[in-house]
Structure 1
């Protein structure tokens, strides 16, 4: 997904971040562990990260289309959101076992 995002950024004429520090400055996710240090805890945290990304992407779709008149990017982040929704669904179903 990271490569796809970088390619989209380049496609619309910008430069993608290329250092770990630039990614850290741009992210809202943290590495803080809030759950139990076991497989179920890790899955819960991964699920929470996917859900957070889904909300952020969902909140930007309309602005890319309406405000920036960039329907291509709106479609692209809709696809990203759908990928995160599917991963979240897989994780939720795993936790129900």
Structure 2
């Protein structure tokens, strides 16, 4: 009979990935989750507060982005749970784990775009950092998730960068 893990209160995970590898991958994914959530907050904040001649297009673009990010947060957290780890979920945990800086003022529309380029590129770097552990463990599911996140954030950064004067 299998006993529950006291940290996660779930039955042991036996998916062909060693415990130490699952923990290393989950740690990397926790950073990706924090970055993604921080980018979600920043993008949503900018959606609410953008002004100027590009208001309509940026307002709409930012909404499309934060809706996609909300789905991504769930997928990343669920992968962490699939690996048998606990997904972080508090603001303080995200602040500790994230490489995406918080924005408290209301920048100009152009500055919002520039800040979102930087933030999307930070998320790409974090996603890329998860690969070594996933590859060592032959964790194709995580590699696939991380590849998709990199593709989306690289394309978003490119599209945003194209809007900067």
Structure 2 length normalisation: TM-score? 0.51
**Separation (CA, whole Å) in 2 of partners of 1:84 and 1:75:** 14
Per-residue CA shift, 1:9-53, capped at 9, x if unaligned? 1122211112111111111121257xx930001110110111122
Corresponding position of 2:7 = none
Partner of 2:161: 92
Higher relative contact order (CA 8 A, sep 6+): 2
Please give the secondary structure, in 1, of the residue aligned with 2:163. Answer: helix
In the other structure, the counterpart of 2:77 is 6
**Gapped regions of structure 2 (runs ≥ 5):** 1-71
Q: Secondary structure at the match of 1:51?
A: helix
* Aligned structure 1 segments of 4 or more residues deviating by more than 6 angstroms: none
TM-score (norm 1): 0.82
Counterpart contact for 1:51–1:84, Cα < 8 Å: yes
| 1:57 to 2:141 alignment | no
Q: Determine helix, strand or coil for the equivalent of 1:37.
A: coil
**Which of the residues 10, 15, 20 maps onto 2:91?**
20
Q: In structure 2, do the counterparts of structure 1 residues 19 and 84 end up closer, same or farther at CA, with 3 Å as the change threshold?
A: same
Gaps of 5+ in 1: none
RMSD of aligned residue pairs (Cα, Å): 1.9
Q: Would you say the 8 A contact 1:6–1:16 is kept in 2?
A: yes
Q: Is the 8 A contact 1:47 1:91 kept in 2?
A: yes
Number of matched pairs: 93
CA–CA separation in structure 1 for the residues paired with 2:108 and 2:163: 14
Larger radius of gyration: 2
